[in-house]
Amino acid sequence: MAELHDDALMVKIRGLCFAHGARTIFDGVDIDIPRGKITAIMGPSGTGKTTLLKIIGGQLAPLAGSVLVEGEDIHHVSRDNLYRLRKRMSLLFQTGALFTDLTVFENVAFPLREHTRLPESMLRDLVLMKLQVVGLRGARDLMPTELSGGMARRVALARAIALDPAMIMYDEPFTGQDPITVGVIMQLIRMLNDALGLTSIIVSHDVHELSQISDYMYMMAAGKIVGHGTPQELGHSGSEWIRQFMGGLPDGPVPFHYPATDYAQDLLAGVSAR
């Protein structure tokens, strides 16, 4: 991506380093998230994609590097400012993270009740409008346990847009969904992004779906960005790693086997111990 002016960036990550205990997750990662676009961050399981979203949301602090959200370093702002920034962003959890003791309606109403003092009738209209967008106005009285996985994610999406955020982060939105639901969620992400002028970040490993709806893609492996570009550019990339990932090949630069001692020696060790 050509270097964008800071005003055109919703999120700007520079030199990000992070570790879970002794395991390095990020080692000098630079990412730009442009405003108004859908940016995908891809990588195999365990590359810390969810961690990245939590770092952008200020829930986890990096060991080094900076994360600027709307020009403010989210890890060095006061608690009040952090909460002010969080009202401008939403994170759609993989599980939906709906409140299981509240109905669908109350789940969507939750952020409105917490942050606004709207009269009940206006609140009702707003909630129904958000539910209408995701097609679940009729499910308003159901409890989260009565919803399918796809419906739960759509309710979570309605809740995520309740406060009209500037940015939505999607954590693995397609995982474990049937093809129809995947289609519905893809359409919703694109539609919400364009209609509401949002900025969207999707972390996922569903190459096919992401290629269709993303404007720009980043590929992560072993704590680093190994490639980025538009879906077309990545599709024709010369990098072996990107080819393996995009093509879904079982072996390549990312090995099939978890690191282990030599196979034959391992088996023989069992024989000599007998």
Partner 1 sequence: MIDWFQKLGSSSLALFERLGRGGLFLMRVFSAIPSLVSRPRLVIIQLYSVGVLSMMLIVISGLNVGMVLGLQGYNTLVDFGAEESLGQVVALSLVRELGPVVAALLFAGRAGSALTAEIGLMKATEQLSGMEMMAVDPMKRVIAPRFIAAVISMPLLATMFSAMGILGGYFVGVGLLGVDSGAFWSQMQGKVDFYEDIMNGLVKSIVFGFVAAWIAVFEGYDAAPTTEGVSRATTRTVVHTAFAVLGLDFILTALMFGSV
| Contact footprint for partner 1 (CB under 8 A) | 54, 57, 59, 83-84, 86-87, 89-91, 93, 95, 97-100, 110-111, 114-115, 159, 163
| Residue 169 or 184 with smaller CB distance to partner 1 | 169
212: nearest Cα among 242, 235, 238, 180: 235
Residue 204, CA distances (Å) to 11, 94, 100 in order: 18, 10, 25
Q: Residue type at 204?
A: S
Q: Report the nearest approach of partner 1 to the CB of residue 18 (Å).
A: 17
**Nearer of residues 169 and 217 to partner 1, judged by Cβ:** 169
- CA 134 from chain centre, in angstroms, equals 18
State the minimum distance, in angstroms, from the CB of residue 87 to partner 1. 5
Which CB sits closer to partner 1, 24 or 50? 50
Q: Report, in Å, the least distance between residue 150 CB and partner 1.
A: 17
**Cα within 13 Å of Cα(221), Cβ side:** 16
- Please give the Cα distance from 244 to 226 (Å, whole number): 12
* Residue entry with tokens 């972390």: 203
* Cβ-contact 77, 88 below 8 angstroms: no
Minimum distance from CB of 164 to partner 1 (Å)? 13
> Is the CB of 109 or the CB of 246 nearer to partner 1?
109
**At its nearest, how many Å lie between partner 1 and the CB of residue 33?**
17
With respect to partner 1, which residue has the nearer C-beta, 89 or 151? 89
Q: Which residues contact 176 (CB under 8 A, 6 or more apart)?
A: 149
CB of 95 to partner 1, least distance (A): 6
Kind of pairing between the strands at 72-73 and 64-69: antiparallel
Unique residue bearing structure tokens 């590359």: 47
